[in-house]
Structure 1
Amino acid sequence: MTLYLDYTAHLNAALDQLPLVEGLNRANIAVEPPRDPAHGDLATNAAMVLAKGAGVKPRDLAEALKPLLEAVPGVTAVEIAGPGFINLRLADQVWRDELTRIHAAAGDYGRLDTGANQIVNIEYVSANPTGPMHMGHCRGAVVGDALATLLQYSGHRVIKEYYVNDAGGQVDVLARSAHVRYREALGSDVGEIPEGLYPGDYLIPVGQALAAEFGDKYVDAPEAEWLVPFRTRAVAAMLVLIKADLALLGIHHDVFSSEAEVQAAKKPEAAEARLRAEGLVYDGVLEAPKGQVDEEWEPVELPLFRSTKFGDDQDRPIKKSDGSWTYFGADMAYHFQKSETADALIDIWGADHAGTVKRIRAAVAALTGGKPFDVKLIQMVRLLRDGEPVKMSKRSGNFVTLADVVGEVGKDVVRFTMLSRKADAQMDFDFAKVVEASKDNPVFYVQYAHARIRSLARKIAEAGISGGNPDVAKLDAEDLTLIKMAAQFPRIVESAASSREPHRVAFYLYDLAAAFHAFFNVGNDRPDRRVLIVNDPDLTQARLFMVDGIGQIIRNGLSIMGVTAAEEM
């Protein structure tokens, strides 16, 4: 339990004593800090939420609750504001006790059980297995990984999954590209890599490995003989590269699912049969393309998913005219497979896939009986160097690899930066700014706060002030302001997890760091506000206990983000 959970429980106990609210839905009741700290320590909208159902005015319900809340331990005053908001003021000892609780829970402070052990499958990254990871993949990778940790921290069981698109035309192109490098490894002068193939040097070792395995067996052989073995080996080699690149960011998936294996297991056929039984797949003809119609276009009967039933502008084919599965048909079947081992599904997609969200949501709802399914759209990152955009193109081979960026600025900088804005907002990644030692750089500002706290602990130890139990009664109202902010961490975890938005943790850590830096800087002008006061060891120990608690919250938040807390800077 934490402070906000404690007082939510106290509020519910008070409501239980009011017969007029018996049986009413309390789901939208909040216990949170008031927007203006001058109004108190906690605020609740309980009277506003329940008044209509109770058949009374919100303020009258608030008046009925007031004496019950005044009797709650630790409450020193209850005030009714506006039409019926209730503000509570708490005794200073409540906050001192919460600081002790932070230390006692340590790395588990803020950990929740709201997930109720629900199994959540999070699929993220899922880049085509045609080359190493580049910065176009980075943001989704970090957001997905941080969300997985956040959900685990809030009591969910999480399956971290990567979907390998190894059944499409792009892996045939990869195999042909590898064949060029294979011939090159055997001494052929291949010249310029042909247009339409992948020219990157990362395929040179693949070609060498194929040459070592097969010798010159496939140099002049027809494509039909080598395409499948080359495709299998090239995809496997790319997955080794991809896993190594993701490991540089501390990302490790639990499951790598193959599109080819999904199709071999007849999951698309099973999904189609399920939807036909529900009347959601039928054989029909697509409308002609809008605008000028190609002379070669002719109507073809295809199996169509009734996506118009779910608000789409037309029904969508799940098979092509040659009988192969469309991307949508294959993706629908893949989600069907994921749902068999999870209670809820989350996909992390690039914003360029926004147009397909509605139809896949509809198909998943139909196939799973309405299991929760969420798609988080991630905007691309614009990479800047010296103020100029860095072009990224996998096909040209002229792209900035994730490994290069992590090597230049470090894993922690990359991960924190990717979480420093809401995922669906545009982002610039400027190599100079992300390592800048300033308040404007959230990575530095939060890390510096933790390093400063560690430095204070070392200086206090060097001053010979240690031992004994800190007397938290020494902490005054100015000190308690920091504790009040630290105590919000469990609320942040809960709201970030429920909204599937790990950036909220980053925002909170920045605000907490700013509050700590402001507290620290006051001591520059007022010696009595410093943490280390040589001639007052008792107050020094109490304040060190307090700032150590802030450091613990920073470490807990950074651990959710997959970022290591800096010990010194």
Structure 2
Amino acid sequence: MNLFSDIRSLVASAIAQLQAQGKLPEGLELGPVTVEPPRDPLHGDMATNAAMVLAKPAGMKPRDIAEALGPILLADERVVAVDVAGPGFLNLRLAPAVWQQVARAVLTEGTGYGRSDMGQGARVNVEYVSANPTGPLHVGHTRGAVFGDALASLLAYAGYDVTREYYINDGGAQVDVLARSVYLRYLEAHGKPVTFADGTYPGEYLIAVGAALKDKVGEAYIDQPEEIWLEDVRNYATDAMMDLVRADLKSLGVVMDVFFSEKSLYGTGKIEEAIADLDAKGLIYRGVLEPPKGKKPEDWEPREQTLFKSTEHGDDVDRPIMKSDGSWTYFAPDIAYHYDKVSRGFDQLIDVFGADHGGYVKRMKAAVSALSNGTVPLDIKLCQLVRLFKNGEPFKMSKRAGTFVTLSDVVEQVGPDVTRFVMLTRKNDAALDFDFAKVLEQSRENPVFYVQYANARVNSVLRKAAAAEIDVTDAALSQADLGAMTHESELAVARKLAEWPRLIEIAARTHEPHRVAFYLYELASDLHALWNRGNDEPGLRFLQDDDPAVSQAKIALARAVSVVISAGLGILGVTPAEEMR
């Protein structure tokens, strides 16, 4: 059941009826017509912009269209009032029976309530985290991991075929630095004095890796030149770091479908193949770029380079793909990687990057547009910084990394559920403050607690009802007589439940999983408000003394809230709480 979709269909049917009567012209585009909750609940239950968006193509005044639509909509038994507001907005008020049926639909459909076929099985690749394999994941990676994983779950819930992917940046100079850092820990494990030069990684997390390398090769690399051990140690260290990354992700509940190695692009012809594809399209040339903005002429050395004509696909400037020494720029393997994703037949690509990749968006979109001939959209989501606090004061905590707070530090402090939910309490492109004390508070100001407490309250009611020998299975509750559910506080909960299917489609379409977290907080707030009203008005309590039938009806509404909260938390990767301690 998708009530907003159903009422939109009613509006479309009314428009068709006016067209059949010659009161509206044929051929009107109904795509922009929406039905949504009004900004002010006092105006009604739903509002449609139909008259506003059809006025210009119909050559009519919006209010005239609205007044013609009103009586047709009012003839439907679900609609009890229609008001024309302002220049032509239509506000609808629905019968209480409509909202009562929402709770029944939730219990009948169960985990299927809110699921959508909007994606129609389209294949989507969501690439996220993709950190250099040079150390443990830090708190910034944590936000990208949570966002990407929740987005993948959201898209799957909305009917897409989703692949979760991690791009291992193991093809650049940083992995050579990693190898040298591990080699120092290897020497240290043999009792040798070592000094970490600038640029090497001094974090304690490499101590165990160096010791394990000692156990594997013994003294074989001691006093040997770099060319003897560098490649072997690089491979060994990269594997060890990726084992650490996988363990960190697993502690957060993140499991990837694909780990793609950048190194696999080199020496295999894959980069050359991707560039050849662009060259065949006339997009590769030799040329000289203009100096970057802000550069003085004397600071700029113009030189001929091999360039990708990215400006033909929306970029600001063309981009170099080959250095003057004939080696590839860092952009070339990224082009090849996305060429591989396009070649794998994905219908849509999503990349989740850190805040420092803002300058990379247009060039990457241009590359994918060129490689796919404009058929595969690429959406790049930037995750802004996470600022750590404790009791309102800036907080630094680094036991092993040397210079940053790790993902495992955060999870160890507050647990994976709290970590995941809090990381989604802001839109991805807004900075996020993470206060280790506040996220564990048991108050309304803590959205994690507030949502979990709502679910725990429902489960408490179910346990008490079962103890009173009331049948509270979903099958029984779905057959309860909901006619007594008429109080405004009860209807407010049902209205919010009705928004869930619409919310899913909006969040999936905009690639914004934070909308799910916001919605769950609002739903929990409505449930808590109803609960608190019951403290003063016994008739609103979920358990009614000596009236199992009425109790069953009221519990049906509460259980419907739990079903939706559990579904929403599932998308966010959070385990619903059955009780709070």
Instruction: Provide TM-score, normalisation by structure 1.
Output: 0.95
Aligned to 2:492: 481
CA gap 1:33/1:388 in 2 versus in 1, 3 angstroms: closer
Shift of 1:429: 0.8
Aligned ranges 1:120-269 → 2 under 5 Å? 120-185=124-189, 187-269=190-272
Aligned counterpart in structure 2 of residue 553 of structure 1, from 539, 564, 572? 564
Contact 1:162 1:256 in 2 (8 A): yes
SS in structure 1 opposite 2:164?
Answer: strand
Residue 480 (structure 1) shift: 1.7
Distance 2:332 2:579 in 1: 52
What is the identity, as a one-letter code, of the residue corresponding to 1:194? Answer: A
Measured at CA, do residues 141 and 75 of structure 1 come closer, stay the same or move farther in structure 2, by a change above 3 Å? same
Q: Tell me whether 1:95 sits opposite 2:104 in the alignment.
A: no
Q: Whole-Å Cα distance in 1 between the matches of residues 151 and 291 of structure 2?
A: 42
1:159–1:254: 8 Å Cα contact kept in structure 2?
yes
Residue identity matched to 1:167: G
Instruction: Quote the residue 2:527 is aligned against.
Output: 516
**Equivalent residue for 2:109, pick from 102, 105, 114:** 105
Q: Distance in 2 between matches of 1:259 and 1:519?
A: 54
Distance 2:260 2:496 in 1: 42
C-alpha distance after superposition, 1:80-118 (max 9, x if no partner): 222111222222111111211100111111000001111
Quote the Cα distance in structure 2 between the aligned partners of 1:331 and 1:120: 18
User: In the aligned structure 2, how far is the partner of 1:557 from the partner of 1:207?
Assistant: 43
The 3-state SS of whatever aligns with 1:219 is: coil
Query: What is the match of residue 555 of structure 2?
Result: 544
Partners of 1:332 and 1:104 in 2: CA distance: 48
Does 2:297 match 1:302? no
Q: How does 1:119-518 map to 2 (within 5 A)?
A: 119-185=123-189, 187-287=190-290, 291=295, 298-309=301-312, 312-341=315-344, 342-370=346-374, 371-391=376-396, 397-466=402-471, 469-478=479-488, 479-518=490-529
SS at match of 2:266: helix
Which of 87, 100, 113 is the matching residue for 1:83? 87
Deviation at 1:309, TM superposition (A): 4.4
Q: Which runs of 5+ in 1 are unaligned?
A: none
Which whole-Å deviations, capped at 9, do the CAs of 1:274-305 have from their partners, x for residues lacking one?
2223332211234456546788x754321112
Distance 1:381 1:562 in 2: 19
**Are 1:564 and 2:567 an aligned pair?**
no
Cα gap change, 1:219 to 1:386, in 2 (>3 Å): farther
The verdict on how the C-alpha distance between 1:63 and 1:293 changes in structure 2, with shifts beyond 3 A counting, is: closer
Shift in Å at residue 193 of structure 1?
Answer: 2.7
Give the letter aligned to residue 277 of structure 2.
R
1:493: Cα distance to partner? 0.6
- Provide the rounded CA distance (Å) in 1 between the counterparts of 2:527 and 2:285: 62
| Contact kept? 2:454, 2:527, Cα under 8 Å | yes
Shift of 1:336: 1.4
Q: Write out per-residue CA displacement over residues 351-404 of structure 1, whole angstroms, 9 at most, x where no aligned residue.
A: 111012111111211111111111111101011235433447899723222112
Runs of 4+ in structure 1 over 6 Å off? 392-396
**Change in 2 beyond 3 A, CA 1:72/1:279:** same
TM-score normalised over the length of structure 2: 0.93
Distance 1:520 1:229, change over 3 A: same
One-letter code aligned to 2:263: A
172-181 or 192-201: bigger deviation: 192-201
Shift of 1:153: 0.4
What amino acid is the match of 1:262?
L
Across the aligned residues of Structure 1 and Structure 2, the Cα RMSD in angstroms comes to 2.1
Name the count of aligned residue pairs: 567
CA separation of 1:22/1:288 partners in 2, compared to 1, >3 Å: closer, same or farther? closer
CA distance, structure 1, for counterparts of residue 398 and residue 303 of structure 2: 35
Instruction: Work out the CA distance in 2 between the residues paired with 1:55 and 1:287.
Output: 50
Report the more deviating stretch, 372-381 or 321-330. 321-330
CA contact (8 A) 1:197 1:395 kept: no
Counterpart of 1:374 in 2: which secondary structure?
strand
Instruction: Answer yes or no: is 1:49 the counterpart of 2:53.
Output: yes
Pairs within 5 Å for 1:59-78:
59-78=63-82
Distance 2:101 2:267 in 1: 59
Distance 2:545 2:496 in 1: 27
Shift in alpha-carbon separation, 1:294–1:210, aligned structure 2, 3 A: farther
Residue in 2 that maps onto 1:17: 17
Contact 2:62 2:88 (8 Å CA) reproduced: yes
Alpha-carbon distance in structure 1 between the residues aligned to 2:106 and 2:353? 36
2:492 and 2:147 mapped to 1: Cα distance?
Answer: 31
Going from structure 1 to structure 2, the CA distance change for 1:279 and 1:519 (only over 3 Å counts) comes to same
Tell me if the contact between 1:485 and 1:512 (Cα under 8 Å) persists in the aligned partners. Answer: yes
Of 526-535 and 406-415, the range deviating more from structure 2? 526-535
CA offsets per residue over residues 408-445 of structure 1, 9 Å max, x none? Answer: 21111000000011111111111100101111110011
SS in 2 for 1:348: strand
Query: Are residues 1:36 and 2:46 paired?
Result: no
Contact 1:196/1:395 (<8 A) preserved? no
SS in 1 for 2:322: coil
* Equivalent residue number for residue 118 of structure 1: 122
Q: What CA deviation, in whole Å up to 9, does each residue of 1:155-186 have, x standing for no partner?
A: 1011111000011010000011111122222x
Deviations 1:450-505 (A, max 9, x none): 11111112222333444764221121132222111111011111111111000001
Structure 2 residue 546 is the aligned partner of structure 1 residue 535: yes
Deviation of residue 136 (structure 1)?
1.9
The secondary structure found in structure 1 opposite 2:546 is coil
Letter paired with 1:420: T
Distance in 2 (alpha carbons) for counterparts of 1:117 and 1:183: 53
| Alpha-carbon distance in structure 1 between the residues aligned to 2:471 and 2:317 | 72
Name the stretch that deviates more: 123-132 or 399-408.
399-408
